[in-house]
Chain A
């Protein structure tokens, strides 16, 4: 009777959730990001003088990309909402009281309002007082951003259960307000929100740089490049502070996650010595060793602000978890539980976040200085423009890395210290159906992303539309699976 329970459905459900949520979040970040700059441009157009028509055209240009990503994002969002019941029905039964409430608010205030407003905004361009139209855009932006408020409150609860009590087989909510008083909440909210702003700014800047490089309306896109950098760079600095707060919070509530992202297997440091911080390393998860280039004492600095201090290693934490959870929360694993998250993945994801954070600030400032040079126009700084274009995908990798650290690092819990993945999964779902759904969703999401990128790129190539949303001339274009597409690429 002491056999290891079959984890196949659990693992497949986890992969499915990861695939769908990562796809969804890439699109969410793009949508909010594009809408933000669209609203900025439309405000400048609506409230500026006659000379500002170019901003109206830019609003249409970025609005177009927003439409594609919004449509795709909303549709992948449907998967997310239903997936709680599809694959994680035990979890939704157990915690429905708590996570259901923010979810219903999110669906009404964000999903519903934005689904209505997008039709209104899109189909009334040029047919309505432009100031009013800009305010519809603003309402659309705010309602989309409101999603973060509710969704993060659910996630913060799962990271650090707070404001609930147990009643038989159900967790009950103490008060809805408690969800927002979770100490985990403000950091996490700020970190995600600013992450989206960085996506917004760098994607705008990247697209504009690409357009300048290809000599499509360079004068107009110079303004867009400037605004993109202005959105991203200032917040990139504050992101580093928020990230440090996030690390501190993690140290307190989820020591295992912190030790894993640092690759810290053994206890290290003391009152007088510090903990090394690995810049690069190879990790052997079987033997539980780490080798690499380490900067002495820096490991203590992150999270505490001091160069000395003690850090508990994963081996000690795992031992403590075994005594604490094996007989209680994790009893359905029948003693076969391992509390180690995938350390290598976590380590790499964390390094990427740290280095990308430095890159955004340093390169962002450099690009701004390049823009300010009087001697040489930005259009002649080809290397800067190319780097900006390539850097467009960095924020996406970074938010994915952030998701991996936060959610994979929670292993093996769904709600930290309360509920395991194996207990959360739907008992009635069979291996065959979960394999089928994972295959379908993976193919579908890949096609969605490819088609979305492809069709946005095609509209980018058309340049900026005129103020009525029409393109000067329609070039012949190819279809996404046409053989010639791959030849050009």
Chain B
């Protein structure tokens, strides 16, 4: 097997962690945003938005950091992802942009037309990104044609395969379930019943969908060939936790960490099961952590600076989350959402 240098290994690990953290943490926000469509009462929607209002931008920054680290440490990977998935990422950018703006502009208008428009923009902006990330990560795993220049060369129709679509849907479902479990700590009494209701429905749907996903994953994904034990272990862990949440009534407080671990195990399995490759190929050579890496000097700087700053940002994000850990009933001040 390919022998990575310590630096390459450490940076690959950091990239995995950052992208997984992004999908999990921002997934919660995406799910909350999707859930705004379930009920049209203004108060319900306001409470949902306010529960993530102070933290969503910091969580989304994990994506930026993850991609920037890929750029610095694995430029070959970076250029392959974005030029290969060009139209997909254009849609992602538009979705993320409109979503971010709708936090500011939702319900700021006099005409209901505009309020309804922004509400739909908010919903679409939240449902599209997790789906796209699901599609992209699963295609890394199942393989894409890679040209001689190390860039992806595939038809867009490749995206519409069952593995990619199912993973996209799975990411959305995970996001929804995680957010609904979290929201029970944030919503007022009035909507607790509704939230429990949504939780019950999701508890029933998600494990079943996940079993289907696992079957496709093991057949189409390349994990089973490369790292059978890790792939199966991660997916099983994820599934078991989902089932535990489904049937457990006693330890409700544990549901939130459980679903987070379950989602994280699922997301990281896409990267881990193809280690040390980063994008599998159906034609040509695989892109791996060695042939896409930057030179030692750049990696050294990137690794040290990122590792040192990781403490700073975890500290800052920790403080923010600590302050907003509970129901944070902001007075209806005009400077907030």
Contacts and interface: CB of A to CB of B under 8 A. Distances in A.
A92 B75 contact: yes
Contact of B306 (A68, A90, A108): A108
B69 A104 contact: yes
Given A124-B323, A427-B151, A71 B294 contact: no
B295 A103 contact: no
A437 B86 CA distance: 9
Interface in B154-175: none
Interface stretch (A166-174, A203-211, A379-387, A404-412): A166-174
B148 to A, nearest CB: 11
Interface in B278-337: 294-295, 297-298, 301-302, 305-306, 309-310, 312-313, 316-317, 319-320, 323-324, 328, 330-331, 333-336
Interface string B52-80: 01111110111011011101111110111
B191 interface: no
B100 to A, nearest CB: 5
The CB with the most chain A CB atoms within 10 A, among B310, B324, B334, is that of: B334
Nearest to B150: A93
B120 interface: no
Interface size range of chain A in the complex: 35 or more
B114 to A, nearest CB: 5
B268 interface: no
A120 to B, nearest CB: 5
B228 interface: no
Nearest to A432: B87
B327 to A, nearest CB: 13
B9 interface: no
Contact of A122 (B83, B114, B336): B336
Contacts of B150: 93
Contact of B295 (A115, A122, A167): A167
Contacts of B301: 101, 173, 176
Interface string A65-93: 00110011011111101101111011011
B290 to A, nearest CB: 14
Contacts of B323: 120, 124
A108 B65 contact: yes
Interface stretch (A47-55, A268-276, A282-290, A467-475): A467-475
Contacts, number: 255
Given A86-B89, A115-B58, A426 B331 contact: no
A119 B105 CA distance: 16
Given A89-B80, A122-B54, A174 B297 contact: yes
A369 B160 CA distance: 68
A311 interface: no
B143 interface: no
A446 B331 CA distance: 34
Contact of B61 (A68, A92, A107, A441): A107
Given A89-B80, A101-B298, A67 B96 contact: no
Contacts of B101: 71-72, 75, 448, 451
Contact of B335 (A104, A125, A436): A125
Contacts of A123: 53-54, 324, 328, 330, 336
Contact of B76 (A75, A81, A93, A437): A93
Interface string A147-172: 00000000000000000000100101
A116 B295 contact: no
Contacts of A440: 90, 94
Interface stretch (A185-193, A235-243, A395-403, A476-484): A476-484
B252 interface: no
B190 interface: no
Nearest to B59: A115
B58 A112 contact: yes
Nearest to B318: A116
Nearest to B52: A119
A429 interface: yes
A108 B313 contact: yes
Nearest to B102: A71
A337 interface: no
Given A67-B104, A468-B333, A78 B298 contact: no
B109 A85 contact: no
B316 A116 contact: yes
Nearest to B111: A479
A113 interface: yes
Contacts of B331: 468
B295 A97 contact: yes
Contact of B60 (A84, A105, A115, A436): A115
B15 to A, nearest CB: 10
Contacts of A481: 114
A83 B111 CA distance: 36
B153 interface: yes
A82 B72 contact: no
A247 interface: no
B237 interface: no
A293 interface: no
B313 to A, nearest CB: 5
A201 interface: no
Contacts of A429: 83, 86
B5 interface: no
Contacts of B56: 119
A64 interface: yes
Given A68-B104, A103-B72, A173-B301, A82 B61 contact: no
B97 interface: yes
A423 interface: no
A174 B87 CA distance: 35
11 contacts: A64-B335, A77-B64, A95-B75, A104-B306, A111-B65, A173-B298, A176-B298, A428-B151, A433-B87, A444-B98, A477-B110
Given A96-B71, A101-B72, A119-B57, 11 more contacts: A71-B101, A82-B89, A108-B65, A108-B309, A116-B320, A122-B54, A123-B53, A176-B301, A427-B151, A437-B90, A479-B114
